[in-house]
Structure 1
Amino acid sequence: MAAEFLADLVPFIIVGFAAQLVDGALGMAFGVICNSLLVGVLGFPPALASAKVHLVECFTTGASGISHLAHRNIDKSLFFRLAGAGVLGGVAGAYLLSNIDAAIVKPIVLAYLAIIGLWLIVRGVLYPPEAKPARFVAPLGAVGGFLDAAGGGGWGPVVTSNLLVQGVEPRRVIGTVSAAEFFLTVAISITFISQIGLADLAGATLGLVIGGVCAAPIGAYAAKRIPIKPLLIFVGVVLTITSIVGIVTALRG
């Protein structure tokens, strides 16, 4: 019985490990990678996949936020503007996704993930971005939170990349966005639990947590060794292809 349970966890451990490995090296993409694989490859309903991913991220983003706080990587002003708007957008996105027919929303979610993949490719090609003054922080947080919940991921690619393009100091961007994401994921998880219950979140969630925790130290090491530009392009290509395959499968089904 125990062996069978462990065997069922293996695919999710692999997904969590791969996603956290990339996220640790890149500072983003855990959510979009996990969600695209859960929805596009393993066939999970979008709301359930997003709920599982965000519940896992409560652990990973909490640890990340504390680490960035200890290293003084957080801009307090930027944090409060992002976190408040992000929570509101995330709750709205989670509520909407939980109350829409999965068969209808699945191709839409995968299309969104494919767009994020293409954006990562473009950002990789154009990296490093041109420095510009930061603007529209609160609206960006609201949009990023909504898309993160409704699409099962995207807070990092949407918010982090936008702030970097606007010229905010990279260390402050990554630290502040990571810290704000903890409150976003907690709010989104609570909303999903209130809408779809807690029972269906077991099993796969444990596997994702195990895989993510195991990969965390390796991802941190990889951040010092792997150039950002080719990694952005690689993640974008994988995410785009996975999402397109999922769209074709969903439309045929």
Structure 2
Amino acid sequence: MTTVEGVTGVMDLLGSDFLLFIAIGFVGQLFDGALGMGFGVISYTVLSSIGIPYTVVSASVNGAKIFTGAVSGSAHIRHKNVDWRMFRLLALAGAVGGVLGVLMLTQVPGTIIRPVIAIYLTIVGVFIILRAYRMVTGKVSTKRTIGIGMAGGFLEATAGVWGPLVTSNMIASGSTPRYAVGTANLAEFVVALVVSTMLIPHIGIESFSKAVIGLLIGAVLAAPLAARFARQLPARTLTIGVGLMVVVTSLYRLYQTYFM
């Protein structure tokens, strides 16, 4: 078998939408790595819109987040965007919140949780945009960081939300945007690993789709570029971008809930 035939065979096995999955992963990770959010929201929205079942979408995105979090986190470490004290607190608290979220997932429908989250995040996003013009940075308290991490882990498991909640709240609490983005990305790797490990026995290994491979390839290609953007963009620009991303994605989640 020639190399061309081998590549063609792999593409046929993966499906005709493979390049689309790569594009989704690239765009999603570009936002996620630079703004601390976007991969899960963008991937979930697009994959759902092309007819992939919700359970498969959730499994694919959660599985991909393990690897995207590792790749993006590594890039942020190289660019010195990680606050290690913040990482330890967010990762540990996020893991605990993730376990609680998985335990609650079968009891409370996501349709009930998502609208509440979307409304809350819209308000937070507006607050962040306003705060960009009156920047306040400093060390966020241990208690507040743990609370944000636990909430983020819980919502990651129940509604696919991590970056919009964790990154936005860390910035709103006074953390420097560059460190909030980089640290939240690295901590998400730990949380995604915990959540996925607990979800697999419930959904079955077959729920992981071929989309994961495409998402991962796109994300790996985008991660180094996104980390560079996070380091080089001015703090105000990055903060406004985070706020806009939170508002837009939250409003779209509300639209999905009530009109789709």
TM-score range, shorter chain: 0.7 to 0.9
Any gaps of 5 or more consecutive residues in structure 1?
none
Query: Could you tell me whether the CA contact under 8 Å between 1:111 and 1:244 is conserved in 2?
Result: no
3-state SS in 1 of match to 2:17: helix
> In 2 relative to 1, CA 244–187 (structure 1 residues): closer, same or farther, beyond 3 Å?
same
1:183 counterpart = 2:190: yes
Percentage of identical aligned residues: 33
Query: Could you tell me whether the CA contact under 8 Å between 1:50 and 1:150 is conserved in 2?
Result: no
1:246 counterpart = 2:253: no
Tell me how far apart the structure 2 counterparts of residues 249 and 13 of structure 1 sit (CA, whole Å).
28
> In 2 relative to 1, CA 94–12 (structure 1 residues): closer, same or farther, beyond 3 Å?
farther
Aligned to 1:130: 136
Which of 166, 170, 173 is equivalent to 1:159?
Answer: 166
1:80-126 CA-to-partner distances (Å, cap 9, x unmatched) read 222111101112213332x258xx43464365346435533442243
Which of 4, 18, 32 is equivalent to 1:9?
Answer: 18
Aligned to 2:101: 93
Which of 210, 214, 238 is equivalent to 2:221?
Answer: 214
Aligned to 2:4: none
Q: How far apart are residue 71 of structure 1 and its match?
A: 4.8
Query: Could you tell me whether the CA contact under 8 Å between 1:111 and 1:243 is conserved in 2?
Result: no
Which of 115, 121, 145 is equivalent to 1:116?
Answer: 121
Query: Could you tell me whether the CA contact under 8 Å between 1:89 and 1:144 is conserved in 2?
Result: yes
Paired residues in the alignment total 245
Tell me how far apart the structure 2 counterparts of residues 80 and 117 of structure 1 sit (CA, whole Å).
27
TM-score for both structures, normalised by structure 1 = 0.79
Question: What letter matches 1:161 in structure 2?
Answer: S
Tell me how far apart the structure 2 counterparts of residues 56 and 156 of structure 1 sit (CA, whole Å).
15
Aligned to 1:168: 175
Q: How far apart are residue 201 of structure 1 and its match?
A: 0.8
Q: How far apart are residue 66 of structure 1 and its match?
A: 2.8
Mapping 1:20-99, distance limit 5 Å = 20-39=29-48, 41-42=49-50, 48-97=56-105, 99=106
Superposition RMSD on alpha carbons, in Å? 3.1
1:232 counterpart = 2:239: no
Please tell me whether Structure 1 or Structure 2 has the larger radius of gyration of its CA atoms.
Answer: 2
Tell me how far apart the structure 1 counterparts of residues 154 and 117 of structure 2 sit (CA, whole Å).
12
Q: How far apart are residue 70 of structure 1 and its match?
A: 4.2
Tell me how far apart the structure 2 counterparts of residues 113 and 44 of structure 1 sit (CA, whole Å).
23
Query: Could you tell me whether the CA contact under 8 Å between 2:137 and 2:176 is conserved in 1?
Result: no
Q: How far apart are residue 24 of structure 1 and its match?
A: 2.7
Tell me how far apart the structure 2 counterparts of residues 218 and 117 of structure 1 sit (CA, whole Å).
27
Any gaps of 5 or more consecutive residues in structure 2?
1-8
